[in-house]
Amino acid sequence: MKKKLFWTIIIFFAFLLFCGLSVGFGVLAFKAMEGQPAFFTTTDSVALIRVEGVIQAGDPPSDVFGNTSEGAYSNRIVRDLRRAEDDPHIKAVVLRVDSPGGGVVASDEIYTQVKAMTKPVVVSMGTMAASGGYYISAPADEIWANRHTLTGSIGVIIQFVNIEGFMKKYGIGATTIKSGVNKDTGSLYRQPTPEEIAIWQKIVDEAYGIFVQIVAEGRGLDEATVRELADGRVYTGQQALDLHLVDHLGNLKDAINRAGELGGIAGEPHVIDFRAPAPLLPGLFGALQKPSPAEELQTILHIDASPSLMYLYTGN
């Protein structure tokens, strides 16, 4: 009986060791894969790089098993674009944009890399490619949209949450000690002054002017025409085509075939989707980790602890 118990314990710990090693090697393999010049291929191919969700700066957060969050993180997208640029077997890139936009800095980082590409870049717009989603699309060689895509929303927004009335109602006070009169602009605890609003309006106007220049340059339009279109509204794919904001109507497959043509690939192009699957065991463990309701609400409402300048469509 004791011998049977002994071997049961040995087998149990051996299983735990196996799982631990599998997780460790999976994480290492995934990290190593991210650093590769590109996926291994000897066939002339089109790279499919996805910008899906709110555009955010930096790298996606990861859990203890190496699973990274989904989303349009600028570092990952820029890294994928560079990998595609460096791989001699990738002849063109399709940037699949399905995003309401996001941070100004993150959008500009992606835009800069798209503009720097020497290989053809074709944008395929999904359900929405608005604001920052359009910003990063503007320098592409061609833009394809579905006729029902919502795009445009050319503009800049910053929003301040104010809880002064709530605090007064419940007798809550706040003391602010600051080094300068404008140090606490955008504070949660009070209404902004007209002078503070003027300061932020200048910042918004500057970012808006850059957005207009980028669209004018990328689409071959004069700035006056772009400013008439750029009042923040969204357009359908058909409307955007009529306004010369996109080049063609079509779906992802159409954009891939066109990218293959631009890249000199004969026939139906081989596609490399840069959204690599997670390692098996980390992926299984990660699937069990769900965000809390508060985290999900924060993501849906784009809530941030501090105000941020955004190329973001907020009508959804």
User: Catalytic residues, which ones?
Assistant: 131, 183
Tokens (6 digits) for 29: 């393999």
Nearest-10 Cα torsion for 49, 53, 56, 62: -80
For the chain, the residue count is 316
Tokens (6 digits) for 225: 């025409």
Beta strands at 248-249 and 72-73: parallel, antiparallel or unpaired: unpaired
DSSP E strands in the chain: the ranges are 45-52, 55-56, 72-73, 90-99, 101-103, 121-130, 142-145, 150-152, 234-236, 248-249, 270-273, 310-312
Query: How many Å apart are CA 237 and CA 247, to the nearest integer?
Result: 10
Question: What is the DSSP annotation of 86-155?
Answer: H-TTEEEEEEEEEE-EEEHHHHHHHHHHHHH-SS-EEEEEEEEEETHHHHTTTTSSEEEE-TT-EEE---
| Cβ-proximal residues to 270 (8 Å cutoff; 6+ apart), any chain | 41, 43, 44, 45, 46
- The neighbouring-strand residues paired with 101 are 312
CA nearest neighbour of 219 among 151, 118, 149: 151
- Distances in Å between the alpha carbon of 291 and those of 43, 208, 230, 257? 39, 34, 36, 38
DSSP-derived secondary structure letter, 247: S
Tokens (6 digits) for 64: 């203890």
Query: How many Å apart are CA 17 and CA 15, to the nearest integer?
Result: 5
